[in-house]
Amino acid sequence: MEDAVHIAVVASTTAISATRLYGIIGSPLGHSLSPCLHNWAFAAAGIPAVYLPWPLQAGKVGDFLTAMRTLPIAGASVTIPHKETVLALLDGQTEAARAVGAVNTLYWENGQLLGDNTDVAGFLAPLEGHSYDSALVLGAGGAARAVLAGLKDLGVAEVFLANRSADRAAALAAEFGAIIVDWDERGDCAPDLLVNTTPLGMAGAQAAASPWPEERFRPGQTAYDLVYNPLETRFLAAAAAAGCRVVDGLAMFLGQALGQFRRWTGCDFALDRAREKLLETLGR
């Protein structure tokens, strides 16, 4: 209960000076830009609220929900490793969350604690106006679920999936109708769209890693990395050098965050100004 107790203490003390309390649960959270973005958005909209990071280890999400039902927590973001496990512990889910099988947003409605998923809309936002015949998704976690659902909505004819854990890949591929590619043979696939949903390349211990053999990029491909810290991962740098169109993780991050902000407040924030704010933060 240590995590839940910590959350309870922070929530109760912070609520004194803030009308609404929000935060993010997951582990690790050291790289997360969510507190920076949402606190900026609340201030810009004149909303008296605060958004905090709440590190929460696997297996502790039930404790957090107990705290959330007791304390004045208005909403929360959900990230690795809780996006799937939280689903069955809520009072209900939106159609988007059910379709993906994962939750990234917690909110209250008529006294019920509900789950939503804004990752699909966030993923699709920077792909608007583009079409693809084939796509390869690298990774099989909660983010991959949103990407597979988004590719289905986008009408991509052939969707491939590669993951280190073959069993996890098989289960997810069966659920979304994807074609399994062995992780060690992923470089033999030549999709129009290549999407990294793994943490490879994320700031920290894995910053120098890439999920894709660099010699296998080809001009004309689109390389999309969901990692946003650093903004230019090794994966994207190699893709750009090979003549690929690149989409950084900040695009999806901003899109899903805007969906969360709308869900919680009914308000929007300016995407261009938000991106400037986050680039400034990353530059530090």
In a domain, 263, yes or no: no
Active site positions, annotated: 83
Asked if pLDDT for residue 188 goes beyond 80, the answer is yes
Stretch 220-240: mean pLDDT, rounded? 95
CATH number for the domain that contains residue 174:
3.40.50.720
Which structure tokens are listed for 215? 């010699």
Q: How confident is the model at residue 142 (pLDDT cuts 50, 70, 90)?
A: confident
d(CA 128, CA 251): 12
Which structure tokens are listed for 160? 């491939």
Strand 158-162 versus strand 134-138 pairing type? parallel
**Phi, psi values for residue 191, rounded to 5°:** -80, 160
Amino acid 203: pLDDT? 82
The total number of structural domains that make up the chain: 2
Confirm if 247 and 255 have CB atoms less than 8 A apart: no
Please, which residues have CB within 8 angstroms of residue 80's CB and are 6 or more apart in sequence?
26, 27, 141, 142, 143, 199
Position 188, amino acid: D
Predicted model pTM: 0.86
In a domain, 63, yes or no: yes
Stretch 162-166: mean pLDDT, rounded? 95
Question: Of 79, 99, 117, which closes a domain?
Answer: 117
Do residues 108 and 37 both lie within one domain? yes
Do residues 97 and 8 both lie within one domain? yes
Amino acid 2: pLDDT? 53
Q: What is the mean pLDDT of the chain?
A: 92
The three-class DSSP label of residue 60 is: coil
If phi over 0 gives left and psi between -120 and 50 gives alpha, with beta otherwise, what is residue 46? Answer: left
Do residues 127 and 205 both lie within one domain? yes
Stretch 246-272: mean pLDDT, rounded? 96
Stretch 78-98: mean pLDDT, rounded? 94
Amino acid 225: pLDDT? 98
Asked if pLDDT for residue 257 goes beyond 70, the answer is yes
Stretch 219-248: mean pLDDT, rounded? 96
In a domain, 187, yes or no: yes
Maximum C-alpha span of the chain: 57
**Phi, psi values for residue 138, rounded to 5°:** -100, 115
Do residues 129 and 240 both lie within one domain? yes
Stretch 29-51: mean pLDDT, rounded? 95
Q: Is residue 81 reached through a cis peptide bond, with omega within 30 degrees of 0 on the bond before it?
A: yes
Confirm if 136 and 160 have CB atoms less than 8 A apart: yes
Which structure tokens are listed for 120? 């699909």
Amino acid 209: pLDDT? 96
114-125 burial, b at 16+ Cβ within 10 Å, e below that, comes to bbbbbbbbbbbb
Amino acid 31: pLDDT? 80
Q: Rounded to an integer, what is the distance from CA 157 to the centroid of its chain? A: 24
Residue written as tokens 């947003």? 105
Do residues 199 and 185 both lie within one domain? yes
Q: How confident is the model at residue 1 (pLDDT cuts 50, 70, 90)?
A: very low
Confirm if 54 and 64 have CB atoms less than 8 A apart: yes
pLDDT in tens, 105-135: 999 999 999 999 999 999 999 999 999 999 9
Q: Is residue 191 reached through a cis peptide bond, with omega within 30 degrees of 0 on the bond before it?
A: no
Start-end of H helices in the chain:
2-14, 34-45, 61-70, 95-100, 119-124, 142-154, 166-176, 234-241, 249-265, 271-283
Amino acid 167: pLDDT? 94
Amino acid 9: pLDDT? 45
Amino acid 4: pLDDT? 52
Least confident of 15-19, 45-49, 260-264: 15-19
Asked if pLDDT for residue 13 goes beyond 90, the answer is no
Stretch 220-242: mean pLDDT, rounded? 95
Asked if pLDDT for residue 175 goes beyond 60, the answer is yes
Domain limits for position 7 = 2-117
The percentage of the chain sitting over the pLDDT mark of 70, rounded to a whole number, equals 93
Asked if pLDDT for residue 18 goes beyond 60, the answer is no
Angle formed at CA 77 by CA 75 and CA 79, multiple of 5 degrees: 155
Amino acid 6: pLDDT? 57
Question: Of 73, 101, 117, which closes a domain?
Answer: 117
Residue written as tokens 């949903």? 197
Between the alpha carbon of residue 142 and those of residues 81, 87, 104, 117, the distances in Å are 8, 11, 9, 11
Do residues 25 and 102 both lie within one domain? yes
d(CA 116, CA 102): 8
